[in-house]
Amino acid sequence: MRRADARARLRRRPAAGGAGGIVRRAASRAAAPAPFPGALTVGGDQEESVGRRSGSLLDLVRVAIALLDEQGRVMLWSQAAESLLGFPSEALVGRDLDVLLGDDAEMIKVVREAIAGVLRDGDSWSGIARLRHRDGHDVRLEARLSLLENGDGVPFLLCRFADATALLGLEQGLAVQEALFEQSPLGLAVFDRELRYVRVNETLARMNGLPVEAHLGRTSGEALPQLAADEVMAVQRQVLATGEPVIDVTVNSADPSEQGYRSISYSRLQDRSGRVLGLTGMIMDVTDRYRAVAKVERARQRLALLNEVGSRIGDLLDAELIAQEVADALVPRLADHSGVAVLEAVLDGAELPRHQHSRLTPLVMAATAAVVPGPDAEAMQTPGARINMTEDSLFGRVLRTGMAETLDAATQLEDVSGQGDPRVRAAYRLGVHSLLVVPLRARGIVLGLLILDRAGRREGFDHDDLVFASELADRAGASFDNARLYARERAAALMLQRSLLPQTVVQPPGMEVGYRYVPGSSGAEVGGDWFDVIPLPRGRTALVVGDVMGHGLRAAATMGRLRTAVRTLAGLDLPPHRLLQKVHDLADDLAQGPEEALIATCVYVVYDPATRKLLLSKAGHTEPLLITPGPAAVHSEESVHSGRGLVGGAANVLALPSGAPIGVGGVPFEVTELTVPEGSLLALYTDGLVESRTEDIDVGTRRLCAVLELPHASVEEACEAVVSTLDQGQEPDDVALLLARLGGAPLPAAVREERWTLSAEPSAPAQARRLVRATLPEWDLHELQDTTELLVSELVTNAVRYGGAPIGLRLALGEESFLVEVADPLPDPPQERQAAGTDEGGRGLQLVHRLAHRWGTRAEGTGKVVWFEQTLPDAPGHGGASHGP
Closest to 569 in 3D by CA, of 580, 558, 555: 580
At residue 294, the pLDDT reads: 63
Region for residue 431 given its phi and psi (left: phi exceeds 0; alpha: psi -120 to 50; beta: otherwise): left
Rounded Cα–Cα distance for residues 419 and 426 (Å): 13
Among 284-298, 397-411, 592-606, 676-690, the minimum mean pLDDT is found in 284-298
Q: What are the CA-CA distances from residue 670 to residues 34, 578, 598, 604, 859 (Å)? A: 77, 8, 21, 11, 14
Check residue 644 and give its pLDDT: 41
Identify any residues that bridge with 625 across adjacent strands, giving them in sequence order. 653, 683
SS3 state at 88: coil
Choice between 831 and 106, residue whose per-residue pLDDT is larger: 106
pLDDT confidence band for 58 (50 / 70 / 90):
low
Q: CA separation (Å) from 857 to 571, 605, 822, 843?
A: 9, 17, 10, 17
- At how many degrees (to 10) do helices 844-851 and 785-802 cross? 150
**Cβ-contact 427, 381 below 8 angstroms:** no
Q: Where are the beta strands (DSSP E) in 609-729?
A: 613-619, 625-628, 650-653, 672-675, 680-685
Mean pLDDT, to the nearest integer, of 417-429?
A: 76
Contact 844, 790 (CB under 8 A): no
Alpha carbons 7 and 75: distance in angstroms, whole number? 10
- Mean pLDDT across 353-359: 73
* Contact indicator for 120, 89 with CB cutoff of 8 Å: no
* Selection from 856, 854, 803, 792 nearest residue 826 by Cα: 803
Question: pLDDT class for 634, splitting at 50, 70, 90?
Answer: very low
pTM comes to: 0.47
Percent of the chain with pLDDT over 70: 82
Q: Tens of pLDDT along 660-674? A: 898 887 788 999 999
Percent of residues in the chain assigned helix, strand, coil, to nearest 5: 35, 25, 35
pLDDT band per the 50, 70, 90 thresholds, residue 34: very low
Element (H, E) at 149: strand 138-150
Instruction: Tell me the average pLDDT of the chain.
Output: 80
Beta-strand ranges (E) seen in 206-254 are: 246-252
pLDDT of 227: 65
* Res 314 pLDDT > 80: yes
Gap between the Cα atoms of 139 and 158, Å rounded: 19
Q: Cα separation of 78 and 579, whole Å? A: 77
pLDDT classification of 6: cutoffs 50, 70, 90: very low
Residue 54 has pLDDT above 70, yes or no: no
Cβ atoms < 10 Å from Cβ of 91:
14
DSSP 588-613: HHHSSBTTB---EEEEEEEEETTTTE
The region of weakest confidence among 6-15, 442-451, 477-486, 679-688 is 6-15
Would the pLDDT of 44 be above 70? no
pLDDT above 60 (res 524): no
Check residue 503 and give its pLDDT: 67
Query: How many whole angstroms from its chain centre is CA 692?
Result: 20
Residue 398 is given by DSSP the state H
Burial of 334 by CB count in 10 Å (0-12 exposed, 13-18 middle, 19+ buried)? buried
Residue 606, pLDDT > 90, answer yes
Q: State residue 471 phi and psi, 5-degree precision.
A: -65, -45
First-residue to last-residue Cα distance in the chain: 128
DSSP 169: H
Among 502, 413, 488, smallest CA distance to 454 is for 413
Peptide bond into 353 cis (omega under 30): no
DSSP-derived secondary structure letter, 656: -
pLDDT at 878: 39
Nearest to 333 by CA among 311, 312, 310, 302: 302
At residue 14, does pLDDT exceed 60?
A: no
Strand-pair category, 541-551 with 600-608: antiparallel
Beta strands in 500-612 (DSSP E): 511-518, 527-535, 541-551, 600-608
Q: Per-residue confidence at 239, pLDDT binned at 50, 70, 90?
A: very high
Gap between the Cα atoms of 683 and 735, Å rounded: 13
Of 143-152, 284-293, 458-467, 869-878, highest mean pLDDT: 458-467
Q: What per-residue confidence (pLDDT) applies to 263?
A: 87
Higher pLDDT: 473 or 139? It is 473
Q: Is 385 helix (H, G, I), strand (E, B) or coil?
A: coil
Amino acid 843: pLDDT: 65
**Beta pairing partners, 607:** 541, 614
Distance between CA 828 and CA 843 in Å, rounded?
18
Residue 678 to residue 510: CA distance in whole angstroms: 10
Q: Where are the beta strands (DSSP E) in 224-287?
A: 246-252, 261-270, 276-285
- pLDDT at position 36 is 38
User: Is the model's pLDDT at 277 over the cut of 60?
Assistant: yes
Residue 840 has pLDDT above 90, yes or no: no
Strands 650-653 and 600-608: unpaired
Quick one: pLDDT band at residue 426, thresholds 50, 70, 90? Answer: confident
Kindly give the pairing relationship between strand 625-628 and strand 22-24.
Answer: unpaired
How confident is the model at residue 438, as a pLDDT?
A: 94
Rg of the chain over all Cα atoms, to the nearest angstrom: 47
Question: Which residue, among 190, 188, 177, 194, has the nearest Cα to 45 in the 3D structure?
Answer: 194
Hey, is 235 helix, strand or coil? helix
For residue 650, pLDDT over 80 is answered with yes
Report residue 124 CA to chain centroid gap. Answer: 65
CA distance 199 to 176: 16
Helix (H) or strand (E) holding 432, with range, is: strand 432-442
